[in-house]
A and B are shown apart, each in its own frame.
Chain A
Amino acid sequence: MPPDLPFLTRAWFAFACFFRVLVSGTFAGSVWRLQEAQPVPPPPAPAPVPLPAAPVAATPDPALQLLALLQREGRFVDFLEQDVASFSDADVGAAARVVHDGCRRALRSHTKLSPLRTEEEGARVTIAEGFAPDEVKLTGNVQGKAPFTGVLRHRGWRARDLVLPTMVKAYDATILAPAEVEL
């Protein structure tokens, strides 16, 4: 709240208020409530953001949770964090089998992956007008108007129904794998 105002300022403010009370119903209402010594009601709280159906509070960080899952099932972080340059292809290949086997199992049991296009790669496809640009990316000599005809280079991927473990108690999502000490 401003401190006590000098007389000239108050004279100008009274004059200004006179006209604003005349022309603005909202302003008039505010002054009326002030005059009745009632506090102005607070502005309405922002509408709550609708929550997804999944219990979000229980999954504080799905990205870290997914990373922990891939590490647990397929040693994903171990693999990326090791320098591959000094090892033979056979060694890297053997490790890749562990990662591939585990991560694939983890992904398949937690989400449904499917290609966006059913045609074989290399097939000629026609993209009709009104296609979704995030589903189909046009490359090469892109010009003119739909329908576009071209060669399918990549079928794309879509993940449906990603279901991650529900966290039952407070946990630190930044821990991707605990240290292990054998007794």
Chain B
Amino acid sequence: MSDPRYIIGIDLGTTHCAMAMALLPTGDDAKDTSPAVTAFPVPQLVTQSGMESRPLLPSCLYFAHASEGALALPWDKERTFAVGEYARTRGAESPTRVVASAKSWLSHTGIDRRGPVLPLGAPEDVEKISPVEASFRYLEHLGEAWDRDVAKGDKSLQLAAQEVVITVPASFDAGARELTAEAAAAAGIEHLTLLEEPQAALYAWIDARGDKWRKEVKVGDVILVVDVGGGTTDFSAIAAVDSGGSLELARVAVGDHILLGGDNMDLALAHVAARKLEEQGKEVDRWQMVGLTFACRVAKEALLNDASLASYPLSIAARGGKLIGGGLRTEITREELVATVIDGYFPVVEASARPAVRPRGGLTQAGLPYAQDAAVTRHLASFLGRQADAIAKVAGASPTTSGTLLHPTAIVFNGGVMKSPALRERIVSTLDAWLVADGAAPVRVLEGSDLDLAVARGAVSYGLVRHGRGLRIRGGTARAYYVGIESPAPAVPGVEPPVSALCVAPFGMEEGTNVDLPAHELYVVVGEKVRFRFFGSSVRRADVAGTELHRWKKDELAELAPIEVTLPAGARAEGDVVPVHLHAAITEVGTLRLEAVPTTALVAEERWKLELNVRGEV
């Protein structure tokens, strides 16, 4: 195995992937210089037989029908599936053969994420794949593209042999992170690190500002990262703290996983336009709806970027060769844009507002758990409210006046949606109103990085930081993890037995660390699968391994997919009950590793790995 020569950053996005790279610093390089970070344009099929290199790779996978022949790539002439732009366009024409939003499925605990479920409703000739395999296919494509354009046959330069940083939403729990690492392992990546996307966005900002960033961020600052992409919304807070006289950055809070993004907004506008057309007695078919959605995205961007436009015309061609006369014509007015996108997704709300939660209907189809409240600002209010005390216990943080919400002093935007000045302005003005009402100063906006590629570039910057080039954001795990223990109690019909939560991994565990065994013993039966309920908390910072909670506030703990362990018979007799402790470690990759360690080991180093990501009972 040869030493890596490059650092590669991969933004494995819900709607698009992007990749950036830098040469690894060598011993000869001066310590204070950092290699330049460049984007890697990804070759991909754009038509059935034509290939182009583009900055973004749409996260779509298309399975060709046998009649289509191969979807050849220069490195594989026989391929029967396509990743990227051609897959995206085929998704509009033949949706049941296309996998999209695989990443959202990766964090969906209601399904078996290693089971073949995608594409939903696929015809019989399509061999369905798991969300993990879909993620692997995107990584595989990026790797093949890299090997063709950079490695060019040199094995030591292949992507799999380089240092790779893959970004994941800060809101991914331990299970979804583990599955991402599995996809990377399947792609053969040897040196992997996971990084939270909002942190990557901040690294990219620091890189884009060069040395000037230290003038813009001071000890005591709390930087809020608002990342609204095509499919997901992600919040993080990063504090600038004092560490022995020098500035240090610490990620202090992350938000929940919110499936809400730019694609939802385009679709909402398309429904507004379709309703107007239907009122005129015109019918909009499925194919035209796709065109309408695309046209609405163009209209949304035009209206958001140019405040002088009163409306933007939409023209949707008929599908046949007769272009003139057969199409649909309407417009999106500024009032509709304001009502649908600005006030619909970014309403001016009070700091005390919280996202509405509707009870789900009894007959819900298998589908993604999209956010039930479309208001990004309400989700933001909820995040800041829940995390009001986030920096109170962070070493070196300036004491803040206690308020009803976390007080950010600066804000960094990320994600395609946030390219719009009007939407940034709405978030800033809403946030400022909350802060002033809570006795704090308004925020400063930290500008200056390309929002489409920032995460991939930031991932490379992080890779360089790990080699001593720049300042590292401290953070550790964004959650504390708990195992559910049923307390012995007489059965009462209709009442669930009380459950207590035993902390096995505390908040803020750093990569490459592990915690002592909690004293509490659990019992497993040899030869049988034993399941435990599993919980995470993004707010309980004080619990240590072994803390047992008998009661907690409703939104403090969130139930995750259960965990499972099977003790092989081996040295022990089948059916024996073995007392074990649970031991947690955070691997160098950044994933959580839970092991059951027997109280009395029969052989040295006797321990069994607990499986995360077991499918929950729905």
Q: Which positions in A face B, CB cutoff 8 Å?
A: 65, 72, 75, 78-79, 81-82, 84, 87, 90-92, 94-95, 97-99, 101, 163-171, 180
Contact = CB atoms under 8 A, between A and B. Distances in A.
Nearest first, the 4 A-B pairs at minimum CB distance are A165-B50, A97-B315, A95-B324, A78-B323
A92 B324 contact: yes
29 contacts: A75-B317, A75-B323, A78-B321, A78-B322, A78-B323, A79-B324, A81-B321, A87-B325, A92-B324, A94-B313, A94-B327, A94-B329, A95-B317, A95-B323, A95-B324, A98-B315, A99-B323, A165-B46, A165-B51, A165-B52, A166-B74, A167-B50, A167-B51, A168-B51, A168-B72, A168-B73, A168-B74, A169-B70, A171-B48
Interface string B314-347: 0111010111110101000000000000000000
B77 interface: yes
Given A101-B315, A165-B46, A165-B47, 5 more contacts: A95-B323, A98-B327, A163-B52, A166-B43, A167-B49
B549 interface: no
B47 A72 contact: yes
Nearest to B323: A78
B121 to A, nearest CB: 15
A101 B132 CA distance: 37
A101 B329 CA distance: 14
A82 B49 contact: no
A82 B50 contact: no
B298 A101 contact: yes
Contacts of B323: 75, 78-79, 82, 95, 98-99
B273 interface: no
B364 to A, nearest CB: 29
Contacts of B313: 94, 97
A164 B53 CA distance: 10
A82 B318 CA distance: 13
B50 A166 contact: yes
B45 interface: yes
Contact of B317 (A65, A98, A165): A98
Nearest to B75: A168
A142 to B, nearest CB: 41
Contacts of A168: 45, 49-51, 72-74
Contacts of A91: 324-325
Contacts of B329: 90, 94
**Most B CB atoms within 10 A — which of A72, A75, A82, A168?**
A168
B49 A169 contact: yes
A42 B435 CA distance: 88
A75 B291 CA distance: 13
A95 B324 CA distance: 5
A168 B43 CA distance: 11
A61 to B, nearest CB: 12
Contacts of A78: 317, 321-323
A42 to B, nearest CB: 36
Nearest to A110: B52
Given A95-B317, A98-B315, A98-B317, A169 B72 contact: yes
Given A165-B52, A166-B50, A95 B72 contact: no
A170 B73 CA distance: 12
Contacts of B52: 163, 165-166
A170 B70 CA distance: 11
B19 to A, nearest CB: 19
Contacts of A84: 324
Interface in B280-303: 295, 298
A164 B51 CA distance: 9
A6 B298 CA distance: 87
Contacts of A164: 50
Interface in B52-71: 52, 70
Contacts of B295: 101
**Most A CB atoms within 10 A — which of B48, B315, B324, B325?**
B324
A31 B179 CA distance: 81
B323 to A, nearest CB: 4
B327 A95 contact: yes
Contacts of A99: 323
A165 B324 CA distance: 29
Contacts of B327: 94-95, 98
Nearest to A178: B48
B324 A87 contact: yes
A111 to B, nearest CB: 13
A87 B322 CA distance: 12
Contacts of B325: 87, 91, 95
A94 B51 contact: no
B53 to A, nearest CB: 8
A98 B324 CA distance: 10
Nearest to A81: B321
Nearest to A171: B49
B315 A94 contact: yes
Contacts of A170: 49
Interface in B323-378: 323-325, 327, 329
A133 to B, nearest CB: 35
Contacts of A72: 47
A98 B319 CA distance: 12
Contacts of B46: 165
Contacts of B48: 171
A62 to B, nearest CB: 12
A79 B317 CA distance: 11
B86 to A, nearest CB: 10
A48 B48 CA distance: 32
A155 to B, nearest CB: 24
B72 to A, nearest CB: 4
Nearest to B328: A94
A99 B450 CA distance: 29
A165 B51 CA distance: 5
Contacts of B77: 169
Contacts of A180: 319
B489 to A, nearest CB: 59
Contacts of A82: 321-324
Contacts of B316: 98
Contacts of B51: 165-168
